[in-house]
């Protein structure tokens, strides 16, 4: 199911992601990332990257936003904005985040922005066409 967002919704998500990115804990990379997840109930859940000296323990902004939503009892998502200030253009979620997002909505609208005017709107199933799926036997 494809989600059609109004321009003001896109801007609202980008601004929420920018705000979240200001709270990032990124002492190693100095690369702040913010994410804002739009739920079907129109709530917005934000997240930021949280680095760790043991790099594998770093939490991406997108997964932090998902964790915030799940902790609030929400599992139905329509869109995600991810913002990282990059002069080279907007960045997309990493593979791990793509897989986590696909668990909840493989057709999620993904808004990628560099916070300085460059924005791309993509679909998660285009970013991750062959996601891992598990069907437990009953």
Residue 3 vs residue 67, higher pLDDT: 67
Q: Is 62 a catalytic residue?
A: yes
Q: How many separate domains does the chain show? A: 1
Count of residues making up the chain: 138
φ and ψ of 55, to 5 deg? -50, -35
Q: Has residue 137 been placed in a domain?
A: no
Q: Has residue 122 been placed in a domain?
A: yes
In DSSP terms, 37 is beta-bridged to 45, 80
* Separation of alpha carbons 122 and 108, rounded Å: 9
And the tokens for 41?
């109930």
The set of long-range contacts for 27-32, using a CB threshold of 8 Å and a minimum separation of 24, is: 27/51, 28/53, 28/55, 31/84, 32/84, 32/85
pLDDT interval class at 85 (50, 70, 90): confident
* Nearest CA among 76, 85, 40, 82 for reference residue 60: 82
Specify the CATH number for the domain of residue 20. 3.40.140.10
103 pLDDT more than 90: yes
Q: Has residue 135 been placed in a domain?
A: no
pLDDT mean across residues, the chain: 94
What is the predicted pLDDT for the residue at 63? 98
Q: Has residue 132 been placed in a domain?
A: no
Q: Has residue 68 been placed in a domain?
A: yes
Q: Residues 11, 51, 62, 103: which is the catalytic one?
A: 62
70 pLDDT more than 60: yes
* Separation of alpha carbons 59 and 96, rounded Å: 10
Mean pLDDT of the region 52-80: 98
What is the predicted pLDDT for the residue at 104? 97
10 pLDDT more than 80: yes
pLDDT interval class at 136 (50, 70, 90): confident
Per-residue pLDDT tens for 35-46? 999 999 999 999
- Residue percentage of the chain with pLDDT more than 70: 98
pLDDT interval class at 87 (50, 70, 90): confident
């Amino acid at each position: 199911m494809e989600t059609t967002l109004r321009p003001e919704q896109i801007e609202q998500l980008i601004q929420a992601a920018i705000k979240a990115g200001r709270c990032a804990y990124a002492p190693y990379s100095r690369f702040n990332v913010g994410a804002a997840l739009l739920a079907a109930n129109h709530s917005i859940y934000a997240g930021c990257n949280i680095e760790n000296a043991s790099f594998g323990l770093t939490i991406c902004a997108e997964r932090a936003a998902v964790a915030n939503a799940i902790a609030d009892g929400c599992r139905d998502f329509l869109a995600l904005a991810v913002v990282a200030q990059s002069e080279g253009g907007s960045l997309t979620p990493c593979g791990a985040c793509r897989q986590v997002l696909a668990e909840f909505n493989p057709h999620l609208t993904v808004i990628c922005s560099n916070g300085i005017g460059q924005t791309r709107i993509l679909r998660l199933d285009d970013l991750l066409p062959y996601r891992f799926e598990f069907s437990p036997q009953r």
